[in-house]
Every structure is written in structure tokens, then in C-alpha cells.
Structure 1
Amino acid sequence: MLKGVKLDEKFGESFSGSKYFGIIDNIKQVNTFVGVNNSGKSRFLRTIFSETINVKFIFDLDENTRNTLMTSLRQIFGQIDSVKRYGAIYNYRTTLSTYAENIYEDKDNALESILSLYMFLDTLKVHEFTLTNDSMTYRVSNMIAQVQTLTKSFGTIVERLGIENGKVDKIYIPILRGLRPIAQESENFLNTDIYLSRTKHDYFEDDIKKGLIFTGLSIYEWIKKLLLGDESERNEIKQFETFLEENVFKKKINLIPKYDDDVLHIKIGDDLQFPIYKLGDGLQTLIVILFPIFVNREKPHLVFIEEPETHLHPKWQRLLYRSLCLFQKHNFFLSTHSSVFINSPKNSIFIISKKKGKTHILHSDIKTEKVSILKELGYKPNDLFQTNYLLWVEGQSDKIYLNYLIKAIDDSLVEGEDYSIMFYGGSSYRHFLMNKGDLNLEFIKSLNQNYALIMDSDRTKSGQRYNLKKKEIVTLFRRNKAFCWLTKLREIENYIPFNNFENAVKTVHKVKNIEIEVGDFGDRCKYVDLNARPTYKPSIKLSNDLFSRIQKNKDGSLKGIKAKELRQEIELSLEKTKKNFNQIDKIKVAERIVQNGFVIQNDELQKAILTIVKDIKKANE
């Protein structure tokens, strides 16, 4: 099976994204390329299909190549281990051994392990060693110089990996496809494949000897030729009919190139045969895509399909996906906007985007534990990959407010098309921003290259220090030239005009006389129903002043505190307990507020939303 695609240096003029040697790894049986329109998905597929471009395809490594790589690695590891006698230990030595073992023991990920090894060796630094004696630093530096020379030799071996494009069998199924002849002469339609002529004219002017471009218009002549051939050729059509019976139609079918007609005919079950164009477009699409794949099933092919979901109901998209997976000798490359192909856990997903005029290719490496968190939050991969801009907020109510505020600045922007908002659930941001205890944006970037984050400060008073971890996150985003807004006020709700907020709470909770904490740092998540019957609670809280005086006694006694003073303290504390606090329904209140509408009055809020809108527009250019 295919493990990687190696792009020539010339690709750097139009494409970016490969880490080392122009190699795109993480290739699986089905590889899905997703991104917004005009990002370059189909162009990338056509480029690696074309034999005029210098592309190599890397398949399973043979024994000789593995042995050569391991011999080179043993020399490198020997150098790294040589400084142990000077008290210098490489911190990632176990990691290197694991990757080396994978070259033999994990064939599916052998190429990824090779590239990861090269990354570690190519970036070897003195500070990655633990030294018991700092005076031995020069020995580590000398060793690194020798490792760099050996690493170049290791890289030369990797550079030679792959089979040239022109020696690999390929099938290309363009978006311009169908079963009904289009070319017409007088009153008759001709079985001329004008879709093929158009596709070759636009994209493949040179012949592709090992590449089949199949549009569907040649199926009439192809099936006729097979049916008029020898027994094995006639049997090929029977087997394809059986395949369609079992996996598509669930009924016996026959494909008939009727001699007095210009199109293929089909007979389903006991029905009379009829021209295939009377089938629904969806069934025609399935036949167009599956036929060239099936007749080439015995020999491994790389199959490139532009937007396989065209004309297909989601149920039939799933049917097509399952059918493709049956051809285990083939590798598939799909450009798509379909959630069916994006959400499949067996896919390898590549995000295609425009970056500085180039088509940028990024493999989305969503770890299993992060996928489970996304699912818990109600998200699927297609919700995140098919947008130009991803805005992270703390909760559902924040999402409601942000959509309203973005619209207030520019009502042409549409959520789900121009941008998407994802809520990460308060402190669960750690799941997305932490990796082995360190803050990084690896996961955020794997979802989308254009992103921003909004965090509530949760401060309860002016002058209170910000949470240090949140400040680190702000610094991290700024270092990556991404927008991160850590609110000055307590939370988003504190930026809503107080009257608008109070009225919404009264309406949603059907209360007339309430008390909500005012101010920039008041807790607006709860309210007091002033008309509710007062009830006193048995637990009371002493004031800080009284408690500090008790502490000075060091024995917990009330020595020095008058009985009258203590009585007043208890009565005041009991009075405070009669307030009946209720939690507001944040989502319903937010919905009511945006339904009623409000004006942005806070300069900080205005500036933040303007920045977000500007970034969204830039991402959508």
C-alpha cells in the first residue's frame, strides 16, 4: 500500500506543507482533501496524477531499504551514546529507539517514523542533553557535528525512496463525468468522449501512459468490447453486474450496450430494460465511479476522484464509501465537501488552504482523546474543517453573543460559511492547548490555520491579577500572530448593557422584582427574587474584621468581644442568608438579549469584535 507522496522541489512554487524531502506522509487507503472552494484541492489531485510532473510514490519499504536505514541509524545512535561516558544523556534517546523499532515492526507508520527520526536528528541541540558536568558541553557539541554529517547520509537514503510517477498505475475520475452522450450530429448523439477531450485539453495536454482518465462516456464501447470478447472478458461484465447487485441495487441487473441505441441500457430485476439515462443521476454516478475501479481491481492503482458526492444523497455517499473500501489494493484520493467522507475515522484528512498565494497542505492529526472531547461538545470534523476561520469561545451563550456582535459589525458574514464558532467549555481549553504539560497550538492549527480565542478573565474586582496560565495563553497566541482576547471585565455578560440584561432575565425567568450584581465585575450568573418569601439559612459567615480579632486570641475564644457586638454580627449574617439566589439560564437569556437587540457601548468590546471581523474577512479573501 502507498505510504507517502514525494513532491519535486518545483512544487514549492505552487504548494507548501511537506516537512522534509517534499514528502507528504500519513497516507491511508482513503485520503480526503478538504477545504473551501478555490483552495486548490482538485488542482493538487490533478498535479500528482499527471506524469509530466516529477512525483514519486512511496510504498511499503523493502527489506534491503530497511536494513540500509537501520545501518545508518546504528552509526548515528552510536555517536549519540558515545557521550554517556562524559555524563551526557540525550533526553529523547528512548523516543529515537521507539521510532527505529517502528521501521521494522509498524509497517503502516514506518515512513512517519523515518521522518520523525530525521526531524530529531536534524535539529539536535546541546540543551536537549542532561549533563552532570557542564565542562563536558564541548564534547556534546563535537558529537553533534559528527551526527549532522551522518544525518545527511541518512537523508540521502530517504531522498531516494519512491517510485517515479510514470511507473505507477493511476485512475482519474474528473468532476466532468456522466453516462449520457453529449456530442450530436444531425439528430443522432455520438459516443464521442467529449468530457475526456475537454479534461485533457484543460489539464493534461500530454499523454499519461500509466494513467486512465475515466469520465463515463466511454462505458458503452468498453462494455460492448468486453461482451464481444473471450470468455474471461465476458465474465468480467458478469462479475461487475454481481458487484452492483450486492453492493448497490440489491437486485439482479444486466448492462446492455443496445446495438440500435447510443447509450447503455440496463435491466433491473424483472423490469423491462431501459436506457441508463432514465436511472437517477445518483445511480449513474455510482456506476461511473465504480466501473473503472472494478475492472482494474486485480492490480494496485492510485485512484483520484473529484467530489465523489456529486448527485448523491448522504445515504448513497456512505454506500459509495463502503464500496471503495472493498478495493483494498487501491489507494484513493478524494477532493470533497461531504461530511460523509470527512467524518469517517478510517480516512486520512488533509486540509487544503491558500497561504501567501500557495496551496497549503496540512495533515489533520487529531488525537483520539481530543476527538472524544470534540464529540462530547457536539462537534464533528466537518464542522471544523470546512470553514475559513475558527473562533474559540468558552460556552454556548458566548457563541450566541459573538454571532450577534459579528453581524452588528458586518451582516454579510455568515456563520458556517465565512467562519465557525466552537465553544470549548471553560477550563477544558487545557485539553486543546496542552501537550505533555506544555502549552502549544499544534491541535488548534491542525483544525484550521485561521483561528482566535476568547477567554473570560473571571476577575471579581478591578486591579485583581489575571490568572497566570491565561496570560501565558495570550502570549502564545500573539507569538503565533493570532488574536486572543482575555477580557478585562469578569466575563462576556458584563459587556452587555445592564438594563438589556436585567430585562431579559425578568422575561426568561418570569419575575418582576429582582436584584443582580451591578458593575464590571459583578456575577451576572445569578439573581435574587426580591418578591420571594425570605427564608433564613442555618449557616452564617462572620465578617473578616471579627474573624481576625478572634484569630488574635490564638485559642478560638471570643475573649475581648462584647455580647452586643457578637449579637449584631450574627443578626447581620442571618439577614444576608435570606437572599434567595437563583441561577440564570445563560443560553435562554442570551437568546432573548440578541432577539431584543442591544448597542455595543464598551470600547474594549468594540475593538475586539472589529479585530475578529477583520481577521475573518482576511481569511475569506
Structure 2
Amino acid sequence: MNIKSIEITGWRSFSSDEGATLSDLKKINILIGPNNSGKSNLFKYLFHIRDMVRSATPRHGRRDGLSNYNLLNNVSSSFNISDTWAEEGSRIVLKLAIDEIQEFSVDGITPTLHQSKEIRLKAQHKIEEQKSCFSVLYEDELCLLEEFQDNNPKILNPENTEYVNVVEGIGYPHDTVIYWKQFAESLVFVDPVRHYSRDRAEFNESDFDGSNIVQEIIKVRNEQDTEWREFKRNMEEWLKKILIEPEVILDPTNEKLRFYIKRGTKEIAASFENMGTGVSQLVMLLSFLHINRNRNLNVFIEEPESNLHPEAVVQLVKIIENNFPKHKFFITTHSSILIDQVNDNWTINRVYRKSTNASKILPCTELLQQYDLLDELGIRASQLLQSNTVIWVEGPSDRTYVNKWISDNNPSLIEGKHYTFLMYGGSNLANYDLVDDDDDYINLLKTSRYSVIICDSDKSAEADELKGRVVKIIERVATMTFDDGRNLGDYVYIWVTSGREIENYVPKEIFDDVLSSEPYLRKFLYENDGAGQKQRKDLIFETDDIEFDPFVAFDIFYAKKYKFDEGTPLAAGHITNIANDLSKKKAGIAKLVVAKWTMEHYRSDELKKNIANVIEHIEKANFYGEI
């Protein structure tokens, strides 16, 4: 029974008039904001009402089998004025919608409402009267039962929307109790401080904190062979990804969890209690989720970044996203590390305080909204060290080609998330360097720790020397080392084209196709007739079997394919004009070229090698390919 939307008013930092809304909830739902913004208040409320529903005591029975249908209609509660918005003592109200659910039963009774209507639950709390009512909404505002009626409340007649006395056969009298009981059992709360030796959740606002999870794992190992094999295989694979270890082996004794981790050529045994706090958190949380993977759960996790490396948090959320289809996750954080992980299975929700000091929740679906969120968190670009990888290119057409090549050879890499392009403008490379100690140059590494620099060789022949600006960058990367043994090449990859420019990698048949058709085919030009008049002369574009010279600019090569329709060659000035026109249109030409580029066009071994090296560099920048 997963949550689809939540509306809450009157509870703590959520005002009694506007309140807060979470809608269009998905697999992973992030609530992010600075300290004291109200992120945790929603979790705390749901925790309290779950306990209220669980502890509701059955009353005396009725002979017609309709006993306790009003069990949750007028429940004693312990909310205080301090639990209300601005301590006004106003009513606390919750409304939430539930995703489509399969048929289920509670105590042998099967509800009927979900067969025809969206399920919407409602909870209300009268603070002064210390009363709570848990109801089910019918067509948004009508409730199945009369609210807050202590004895034998009437039930809604859906045909005339009037309330009538409950009698046997009237239909869904127990639905309110069944849905709320089922919903309460779907809620799981994970606090930010989890330790295997704790006996209870601190402050009584969380129920899973790692207590006794070790005993549950060992019980699975001793009593459920098939389940244990699956659990062991998954846990070892997950820990390898999160901890970036070549091998992790889970091998518990009869009393303790024990791991073997490779260190060089040796396998080192590590007991659970001797592992770091962050590692033990991972093991306990993933173990709990795996053991309960067949339940439909709404899992509320507080600040998973506590005691965890940022990349470990990213990998943890990816694992729970991909491996627990029946769970929906709600995660509070004040860290920015999850923002760029958003996909169609995620929502990012900014929690902030208004001028009235009330908490508001807004979805962050646009880039500018995410910028606002970073400002709210006090995060500056210099603190983030910018993009994971910056690919420096001479111009926009280079970006089009390289983006296509990366996408074709590793579709999981996403521009704007795993890498970003910046343009240095050809000869402007002479103004860039890779060090901090020269004020005359722009430091490329100030934009990113990892960079790829792609340069046209600009050679007119294979034996020509490279330009001085390119040689300087290559030498800097080759010679600069650090005290720990690393070198600048660990952070910067240089790709100098084997031919004159990046267009020389394009197979001739693609260029022939693109440049011999609209909108790039030239059909005529004007020539001075000697009498001061311009005469239109038609052109023909000749396709031939002459190979694309790798040391001739593509615009010159293809400008020379034009002749006048009577067969006479063009003058040098005409060729230059056509070449200049093609050069100005490089960006548009590149888009048409990549649209026609297929995997069979990767024929150059040198191109394939550089693409593989660029992808490897991007993967390293995104933590060793775990993306």
C-alpha cells in the first residue's frame, strides 16, 4: 500500500491554513533543505499516528458481525498544543492518496472500496478534546463513516450520499479499519543513527535502528538455505559497489557477522562490530529491506549521509531504487549529493521556511529551482568543485560529434550529469593552463577535477609539427606529478585528432549524403560578366571515389567538388567563398551527420581508441564506472 500523495496542515511547522503537500510521488522521494526547515516533521507525524492505529483497542462485539467497524472513528490521542502550528491548538489534518493496490484482507475480512475508487485516507486530531478520527474518503470529501461519532456511527450510502444506520449487508462497513490497519503496517522508519547493539529507537520516533538485525540475518543463514544464498549473493555485490572493493565475502558464525575483504593478495577477516559505523549502517539497512522485500512498504529514511561517504550514499540509493520494487522510499537530507541523480523514478522536494516561519514543500523539477535549493543549502560552486568531468572542445560542432560518440558507446553516460562541455575557441587554448601559479593563464582544473581536452591537430601533412599551444598542454600533462605518486594525467586526458580536424573522422559517404542535399547544396553563384553585371551561373556537385584527405579541411575538400554546369572549374575565389560558407554552418552540418551515423561507421581504430579512453576517464571521474 504505497503513498501517492500527502497533504498535511496544522502539525508543528506546517501551518493550519496552507500546510504542505507532496504530490506525484515516485519510487524515490527526496526531501531536502537546511537544518530546522521542517524536513523531519512529516516523518514524526506518520510515526505517531501509526502507533495510534496499531494500539487501538477492540471494543465489545455485536451479534450481526459488524463489531469494531468504528474502531478508529473516535480514538483518544496524546497530541499537545506544542504539536500544533504556532501552538495555536488548531486541528491537525492529514489527507493522503494510495497507489493502486491488489486485493488483501485483514483478520479474514476483504475490503471492497479499492475495486472501484481511488483510496484516500484522512486523519483528524482535535487537540483540546484529545480525540482523533481515522477515516476513508469517498469521492474526495465524503467519509465512509460519520466522523468523531463514538457509538455506532452511520455509514455513507453511495447512491444518495446520505448517512444511514449500519446493518448487515450494507457494504464496506469495515473498510475504514482495514485500510488504516494495512497502511499502518506499510510504514517503516529508519533513524539517522543506526547501531547493531542498540535495543530501542532513541526518542521513540523511529522503529528500525538496527536492533537485533544481526540475529535475524544469522537466523536466515541457519534456517533458510535458499533465502540465505540469495541474500548473501546480493549483499556481497551491493557492498562491493558501495565500498569500491574488489571482493567482499559474507561469512557469519553462529553468533556474529563476519566479512572477508581483500587487501592486496590477502583476505582479511573483519567482524561486524569492528567495521566502521557507515559500513554497519549499510549492512543493517540493506538486510532489513531484503528480508522484508515482499512487503509493500513505505520506507522513511532520515539523513542517510550520516557517517557515509557521499558516493556511498549515491550507490545506496541506486541499489534501493533498483532492487526493491514493492517499496517506496522517502529520504530526508541536507546534503546536495543526490540532486544530480534524478531520473523518472525520483522526485526532489525542497523544504524551506516562509517569512511566517511555516514549512513549505516545493517540487524541484527545473534547473533554476535546483539552483534556489543549492542557495538555500548554502552550497557554492567552489565547494562542489564544479562538474564531474569537463570536456573542452574548440566549438559547438565538436561537442555534437563527441556527444554522439560517447552516447553510442556508453548510453548510461549522460551529459550534464556525468560530464559537461566547455568551449575554448581554438587558438584561445594558448590562454589556458593547468596550474595555479601563473596569473597570465586560465586554469582549466578550476572548473573540474577531471578534464578532457580535445584539440584539432591543424596539420596539413602527417609530418607537420603541432602548434605550440597544444605541445605546451601535452608536456604539462606528461611531466607534472604529485607527492603521492599520481600525475596530472590521472585528471586530464588529451586527445589530439590524427587528421587536421575532428570532421576528418566523419566517413566520406555521410558527408557526401549531407552536403549534396538541402540545405547545404549550392545550386548556383553569381559571377561578374566583365561589363559590370553579375551573371547567375548554375553549379553541379560531383560525387566521386576520391578518399577524404585526413589533412584537408572538410570545407575546402567539398568546396572543390563544385563545377559550373558546363564543366569548367571554379576560380579560387569561388572555392574560398563556398568553403567559408560551409565552415560557418559546421554546427548544423554536424547535427545532420550524427543523425546518419550508425555503429558501422566506427571504422577508425584511432577514433575508437580515443572514444574508449574518454569514456574510461569520465567513468573514473564518476567513481570508477559505478554510474
More strand by share: 2
Shared fold per TM-score greater than 0.5 = no
Task: Bin the TM-score by the shorter chain.
Answer: 0.3 to 0.5
Instruction: Give the TM-score of the pair, scaled to structure 2.
Output: 0.37
- TM-score, normalising length: structure 1: 0.37
